[in-house]
Structure 1
Amino acid sequence: MATTDALTPERILEATEEVLRRHGPAKATVVDVARALGVSHGSVYRHFRTKTALREAVTQRWLDRTSTSLSGVVAGSEPPETRLRRWLAELFAAKRRKVGDDPELFATYMVLVGESSAVVNRHRADLVGQLARIIHEGLERGDFAPADASPEALARAVFDATGRFHDPAYAREWGDPGIDAEFAALVDLVLRGLRAP
């Protein structure tokens, strides 16, 4: 039996993820999470005041894994064009891994993401912000051509244009033959559009 002294939000989120993997979102309850931790459900509620708050936190944690891994690309020292290409490739790879490595958990998170629009909106804003930092540096260095749009607007356009390769709505297509060539062709087109003449 775990003690509530050792109970942390991170331990609760880890247990919640495992309960979701086993039972799915429709059947996973706070009581199940508490049971997995060996504590009362009241102990879980001391850290997460509602079931919704717990589900949003576990969804945020899942999405943050992608954001965190991509932030290293943004901070890199490669030229902006190289970083932008790498960032898009790593985003696509991360999304594919989430589908392929644990399809049951991916399906569960798609339900949770549908319930957590504010969490998803923050995640998208973070990703677009990362793209904007790369594009801003490319504009400052003269690698990308100045445009009438701000780096943020350009980043949103790039994010939207590449949606087929990171939006979970397209997950069924990510294993199709030729998808990698289609991804590379789109990234080449995007970069040609940004590149200074």
Structure 2
Amino acid sequence: MQDATHGATRLALDLALTIRHDGHGGVADDLADPAALTAWVAAHAEDLPDTAGRTVDATALAAVHALRAAVRSLFAHAVRPAEPSPADAARLPPLPEALRRLNAAAARTPTVPVLRWTEDTGPVVDRRPVPDGDLTAALAQAAISFLTGPDRQRLRACHAPRCVRYFLKDHPRQEWCKPSCGNRARVARHHERHRKTVG
């Protein structure tokens, strides 16, 4: 169960992180075309076993883009009262629309009853998804698992200059997604203090 939870957390976070700083003051999209999404899905085959190996078309790409916007909107909501990632905060769908998109995508996978029966518990019915390979449904379900799980409490937006990433806070003093962002933030603060004392 822990592995499934970790996989869902990683998958949801990795989807959000396909929006990144481009190194030139703008924002880049790692899922810019169907080939890029096909490669991303292949790289996440362990967490997307029913969709791995498939070629993604423009329709699937548009669906994943809409889902990613919803996930980033929900991430922005989850980190409140802190500021969200500046990458797309002004362009994200409002919370009700983000929830509608996420839930609609998750509902694309039908479920079937599965009977479990042990000597200790007697018969129990679980509902399990039918593996039909719907990419957006798998991604939406991973996002729901993450947003309702314990890792959501550790979600933060990195506010280092030029960074647009979300990350999971691993220790109490962590402020940035990676050490290079911390270095950029310290350098920027130093330059700002120096500019104020000189000016």
Q: Same fold (TM over 0.5)?
A: no
Higher strand share: 2
* Higher percent of residues as helix: 1
Higher relative contact order, structure no. (Cα contacts within 8 Å, ≥ 6 residues apart) = 2
